[in-house]
Amino acid sequence: MENARDHGRTVRNGSLAMIGLGVLLFVLSLVYLIPHDMGVTSALRSRGVHVSAVVTDCAAVSGPQDNPAGNSHCRVRFTTSEGASVETRLAYVTDTVKARDTVTVVYDPRHTDVAALASSIGFWNALGRNALDVVALVASVLMTLLGLAVHLAYRRLTRARRRPTAPQAVGG
């Protein structure tokens, strides 16, 4: 009986974790991923200024075993058209540059800390990022629904297995 109770707790906790992660990914997608990617790309395409920049540092997104493409968060230093020196992190990860490379970046003159490689804001790159954002959104909905379905099915099954107890005799 104890094993069944542990199994039930595992199923219940697993389904609740899946619901929680699904909701978290959904909120993250709607609140950050989609607006960030669309906003940065839109701003850089509409009013972006192209300048030459030097890559000052690149840090791998994760360890080599989890990052076979070699994606890195990179920082660049450039001079704005007004003559101000800016060092900022690129808006998107990249696998094409390394420290001390000279690259062309596009920066937002209204927010000079927003910059990306010129090649990162092309149509296909933006489409790829937006497709990944939509996949994250769909995955979050599926995770939430699946977790909810498992949770409700388990509750229904456990209620069906419970045996009704006989009513106690009243009085004597």
When mean pLDDT is compared across 38-42, 63-67, 110-114, 143-147, the lowest value belongs to 63-67
| The predicted structure's pLDDT at residue 163 | 57
Q: Using 50, 70 and 90 to split pLDDT, how confident is the model at 1?
A: very low
Higher pLDDT, 3 or 12: 12
Cβ neighbours of 58 (radius 10 Å): 21
DSSP, residue by residue, 79-133: E-TTS-EEEEEBSS-BSS--TT-EEEEEEETTEEEEEEEGGGGSHHHHHHHHHHH
56-84 average pLDDT score: 82
Higher pLDDT, 34 or 158: 158
Global pTM reads 0.55
| The predicted structure's pLDDT at residue 20 | 80
Token pair of 156 as six digits: 């229904």
| The predicted structure's pLDDT at residue 88 | 95
Q: Using 50, 70 and 90 to split pLDDT, how confident is the model at 28?
A: confident
**Cα–Cα dist 116/143, whole Å:** 32
One-letter identity of residue 125:
N
Axis-axis angle for helices 123-161, 2-28 (nearest 10): 150
| The predicted structure's pLDDT at residue 46 | 84
